[in-house]
Structure 1
Amino acid sequence: MARHDDRNWPTWTKMIGLLCLVASILTEHEASGQRVKVEPEVSSYPGQTVNLRCAFTDATGVQLTMVTWIYEPKDGERMNIAVFHPNYDPNYPESPVKGRVSFAQNPPNLNSPSIQISDVRMTDEGRYVCEYATYPSGNEQGITQLVMLAKPQNSASTVTVVAGTKPVVVARCESADGRPPAKLTWMTTANGNSTLVEKPGADNTVTVSSEYRMIPTAADNGRDISCVVNHRTQVKPESFPMKLTVQYPPKVTIVGYDNNWYVGRTNAVLTCQATANPAPYSVIWKTMSGIAIPETVQIKNNELKVLKVDESVNTTFICEVMNRIGTTRDQVTAIVRGTRRPEKGPTTGTIIGAIIGVILLLAIVGTAIAMYRKHRANKLNGDGPPKYKPPPPKKKNNTANRPVHTNPAPVSDSTPLQSQNYSTQSPPEPVTDLDTYNDDEDAGAPEYGREHYYSAAPSGWDDPGNSEVPPPYMQTNPDRRDHNSGSNINHGDSFVSEAMFV
């Protein structure tokens, strides 16, 4: 493997050396091309003096022999216009700029051989090359583009056309004698297209013209259209707003007939409405039958007024309008009725609408009143949740209904029946308040022993779970009340009765 790498090493060395050589050649060429310093572009107006600067920036290791300025017109052959050798005087060969071109310094400086051209013309536009003859690198050069500017004369106008079916020119725009050529654009809502033509003008200028073409219609008359000119000599684009001019014959419409001409009606009016370009110069009223206009009819310009309707106006009226483009007419047939037709004017519709509105308003008000009364009745009858907090329950004294125990001693089987005390009054059905009982007992009694103990059983007894029976209840204090007798739980008339042994 190592031997294989050793064999390939000279090949890589050759490739790297070749790349370095090419890079050095390109670098040297680029560096040498940049040593002649000029301005890429210079612009000027006719009649001015323009300076074309040139300098050799780094002459280290190079001997400058001679400098030559060369003119390359846009159309034509290149030519020498100025030559300078340090051992000789400057020379200006035959050229279009001879007599107007000279070196900027006198005597010229080989390191900075700039030139100037006075009274420049539009034909002086082109490329100007500053070329050095050096040793040992040879010739080196820099190129400057001279751009001649001429502010154009801009104009735009519309063309009066007649409505038709073929495309015609409706507007024109022109930018004359400008340099460089101007750019023309159209802005409009009209449906058409434009053409652009460039023509050479005087003194190497250019005239640019554009035409807008479309099929003109009556609807296009008065439509907006603008030509916008852009040129290098202008600070901002120049716009020419215009309106299209399309001529068309009259468009005629007769209005005013309501199909309700009855005998005896007065002041019935027909109006002949017409639009045209140019404006109409004649409006003529006549009848279809060709008979003369009745005496009860008055005509004033485009208005026909029937003073009193009768059978003589039961005819077809024609309005004929003329302008320079053509003649157009419209007609209406008047039918005279014996009686008046009922009219459904805006008053009838207004009354009907008002009646419907009143009915809807009354229905809404009635519904609101009914809902309010129902809500108030429910509120008075107690329906719904209470609006106040109820008072706490009061303790009731039910000692009158309790049985009186006269014999506190336990009762045995040997006791005579008559000595036993019974209550003859039937007490109300006892209702045990388990919640109250549990609240008092849960505090001290365990959960597992609750089923074995009485509520009044003294503490300290043995667990009855060992088959022991607790002793009978003995009341030692007649005034003592069961601790559950005063539970103030109001469940209607319910209460917890005292324990009673029989």
Structure 2
Amino acid sequence: MDGAASFCGSFCHNIPSICDSALLRVLLVTLSLLCADVEALQVIGGSVTVEQGSTAILSCYVIDTNDDLTQITWQRKTREKPHNDNFLTILPREGAQFVNGDDDRFKYIGNFNNKNGTLQLSNVALKDEGRYTCIFTLFPSGNQKTEIPLNLLVPPFTNIKDNLPTLGTEEVLFATCTAAGSKPPAEVRWLTGALRDKMRTTTNSTQYDNGTTTTVSSLFGLPMREINGHQVQCVISSDSLTKEETLPFNIQIYFSPTEVNIRVITEDSFECVTEANPNANFTWSR
């Protein structure tokens, strides 16, 4: 406890023997009531988690006290400002005032008379993530405060990249599925169905200084003609996504024509037939 709270704590537990006098007994009763009031006082806050780009409400208010409020101070310790920084004060007449430069994304939406210091922060960015401290200057209790952690969720950018494998007898990379820039890290997995015994996967993650993570899952197998055209799925899940994201992928095994046949359709028409992926281009000559 600050201010009167500290005084109450020491006085109420360390009364000398002269407290037997009537005057000091009255003083003791008065200070005991003050101690009880300070102990009942609470600063209400709480952790806040929002998605990047949305609006965060940093709720902070005092309950169970009749003390006079003289000032509300906001401090922050964030990715952008790693040292504790006083950035906003709220006074009964002047209202909200920035200390070191304005930031229009912050808006005071509390009520000073109700001892409510709540802030609104719009367009939240990764640089804003950190711990915010709400300090109420009360008389006679002194400074009372609470910390409000602000956590961000960042949905990943997702895609599948075809590695363009060609027909062969050795294992190759078919495709990579990427969940980039996610916070917290995303889980990436493949659903291969009937091909599960013919496929294997690997997953790697890279974490960046801004707290985001890129996860890449790779799909491997033998590039056989019989699996050409089969569909598999890449499934991406994360606390930053409202639901799992599923990306379908058709396995393509690329091969050139190996056999060409000419069929007679009628007496004056012919058909050239071959198999290739992608489809072959035909040139006739005579």
**Structure 1 residue 210 and structure 2 residue 216: aligned?**
yes
- The separation in 1 between residues aligned to 2:140 and 2:158, in whole angstroms, is 55
CA deviation after TM superposition for structure 1 residue 68, in Å:
1.6
CA deviation after TM superposition for structure 1 residue 56, in Å:
0.5
**Alignment correspondent of 2:202:** 194
CA deviation after TM superposition for structure 1 residue 82, in Å:
1.3
Question: Residue 67 of structure 1: which of 56, 67, 72 is its match?
Answer: 72
- The separation in 1 between residues aligned to 2:121 and 2:155, in whole angstroms, is 21
- Does the residue aligned with 1:72 lie in a helix, a strand or coil? strand
Q: Give, as a single letter, the amino acid of the residue that structure 1 aligns with 2:165.
A: V
Where structure 1 has 5 or more consecutive residues not aligned to the other structure, the ranges are 1-20, 22-27, 248-276, 284-299, 302-320, 325-502
- The separation in 2 between residues aligned to 1:33 and 1:72, in whole angstroms, is 28
Contact 1:131 1:142 (C-alpha < 8 Å) held by counterparts = yes
- Does the residue aligned with 2:98 lie in a helix, a strand or coil? coil
- The separation in 1 between residues aligned to 2:94 and 2:242, in whole angstroms, is 47
Q: 1:32 to 1:122 in 2, by over 3 A?
A: farther
**Alignment correspondent of 2:87:** 81
Q: 1:81 to 1:109 in 2, by over 3 A?
A: farther
Q: 1:32 to 1:41 in 2, by over 3 A?
A: farther
**Alignment correspondent of 1:143:** 147
CA deviation after TM superposition for structure 1 residue 181, in Å:
4.3
Contact 1:82 1:102 (C-alpha < 8 Å) held by counterparts = no
- The separation in 1 between residues aligned to 2:236 and 2:147, in whole angstroms, is 31
CA deviation after TM superposition for structure 1 residue 32, in Å:
5.5
- Does the residue aligned with 2:127 lie in a helix, a strand or coil? helix
Contact 1:151 1:233 (C-alpha < 8 Å) held by counterparts = yes
**Alignment correspondent of 2:133:** 129
**Structure 1 residue 35 and structure 2 residue 39: aligned?**
no
- The separation in 1 between residues aligned to 2:132 and 2:237, in whole angstroms, is 28
- Does the residue aligned with 1:246 lie in a helix, a strand or coil? coil
- The separation in 2 between residues aligned to 1:32 and 1:225, in whole angstroms, is 62
**Alignment correspondent of 1:52:** 58
Q: Give, as a single letter, the amino acid of the residue that structure 1 aligns with 2:50.
A: S
- The separation in 1 between residues aligned to 2:91 and 2:147, in whole angstroms, is 20
* Structure with max Cα Rg: 1
CA deviation after TM superposition for structure 1 residue 36, in Å:
1.0
Contact 2:40 2:64 (C-alpha < 8 Å) held by counterparts = no
- The separation in 1 between residues aligned to 2:41 and 2:164, in whole angstroms, is 60
Larger RCO of the pair (alpha carbons < 8 Å, separation 6+): 2
Contact 1:156 1:174 (C-alpha < 8 Å) held by counterparts = yes
Q: 1:155 to 1:205 in 2, by over 3 A?
A: farther
Q: 1:71 to 1:139 in 2, by over 3 A?
A: same
Question: Residue 105 of structure 2: which of 94, 100, 103 is its match?
Answer: 100
- The separation in 1 between residues aligned to 2:40 and 2:220, in whole angstroms, is 55
Q: Give, as a single letter, the amino acid of the residue that structure 1 aligns with 2:214.
A: V
Q: 1:101 to 1:109 in 2, by over 3 A?
A: farther
TM-score by structure 2 length? 0.60
**Alignment correspondent of 2:32:** none
**Structure 1 residue 160 and structure 2 residue 167: aligned?**
no
- The separation in 2 between residues aligned to 1:71 and 1:33, in whole angstroms, is 26
Q: 1:164 to 1:36 in 2, by over 3 A?
A: farther
**Structure 1 residue 169 and structure 2 residue 173: aligned?**
yes
Where structure 2 has 5 or more consecutive residues not aligned to the other structure, the ranges are 1-12, 14-34, 264-273, 278-286
CA deviation after TM superposition for structure 1 residue 174, in Å:
2.3
Contact 2:72 2:137 (C-alpha < 8 Å) held by counterparts = yes
**Alignment correspondent of 2:258:** 280
- The separation in 1 between residues aligned to 2:118 and 2:183, in whole angstroms, is 26
CA deviation after TM superposition for structure 1 residue 239, in Å:
0.9
**Alignment correspondent of 2:232:** 225
Deviations 1:43-76 (A, max 9, x none): 2552x5543221101115x565543212221462
Deviations 1:443-476 (A, max 9, x none): xxxxxxxxxxxxxxxxxxxxxxxxxxxxxxxxxx
- Does the residue aligned with 2:97 lie in a helix, a strand or coil? coil
Structure 1 residues 173-188: aligned runs within 5 Å: 173-176=177-180, 178-188=182-192
Deviations 1:194-252 (A, max 9, x none): 22334659xx68463413143524265445431112244544211112233335xxxxx
- The separation in 1 between residues aligned to 2:276 and 2:229, in whole angstroms, is 18
- The separation in 2 between residues aligned to 1:81 and 1:240, in whole angstroms, is 44
TM-score by structure 1 length? 0.37
Contact 2:188 2:217 (C-alpha < 8 Å) held by counterparts = no
Structure 1 residues 246-257: aligned runs within 5 Å: 246-247=253-254
